[in-house]
Amino acid sequence: MTVLPTIFSLLFATTATATIPSTLNITTITAHNDQSAIECWALDPGFTTTDQAGVSGTASISLGPVAGNVTNIIVPGAFDGGSHNAPALQWVIFLSGVAHVTLPHSDDEAWIVGGRNGAILALDTADVSVDGHITQYPTQESTVAVEVPLVQVPGHRVLHGGLVWRGRWGGKYSVLVLGGGL
């Protein structure tokens, strides 16, 4: 059997050629003039090489200090979350499913697919946004997400209005990234 050595060589080839990206680009629900807005932010500072045991030599980036309980939420398929503000400054890390975010005062929208590109910042708390945003979960798949409340808005540079990621979804090419700046 040559399968196992082949798998190992694939794994090690992947590891050896991994490059360290400069930073993470994050879809952010922020607010301007009391209205929620969607922007693409680049976290600053970016990745560094960590010496943490177990992953020494690999790419690492801080997501900021945590303010309280971290929560796992499970949303059933075809769920309408309605209009709401971010309950706190927080990361929402979508692990599975699809969330569709729309805005009451803008045509910008975000389709967030759980997985590698599933982390967003939700920062439109009631003190900065009057009407918040609308989240719907349109697919039949349940959506699993982890909410991480933050002490403060993470360091960042605003790259542009609109979202971060374009990609393939459901077998056909979909524009998942819509927004004023794109």
Ligand X SMILES: *[C@@H]1O[C@H](CO)[C@@H](O)[C@H](O)[C@H]1NC(C)=O
Contact 125, 90 (CB under 8 A): no
User: Helices then strands (H, E): number in the chain?
Assistant: 1, 15
Which of 35, 42, 83, 136 binds ligand X (CB under 6 A)? It is 42
Query: Which residues are 158's β-sheet partners?
Result: 41
Which of 18, 44, 55, 68 binds ligand X (CB under 6 A)? It is 68
Quick one: 57 or 68, whose CB is closer to ligand X?
68
- The footprint of ligand X on residues 80-109 (CB under 6 A) is none
Count CB-CB contacts under 10 A for residue 172: 6
For residues 179 and 182, give the distance between their C-alpha atoms in angstroms, rounded to a whole number: 6
Asked if residue 69 binds ligand X (CB under 6 A), the reply is: yes
Asked if residue 36 binds ligand X (CB under 6 A), the reply is: no
Number of residues binding to ligand X, judged by CB under 6 A: 6
Asked if residue 143 binds ligand X (CB under 6 A), the reply is: no
The SS3 assignment for 7 reads helix
Judged by the rule CB under 6 A, the positions of this chain that interact with ligand X are 21, 25, 42, 68-69, 159
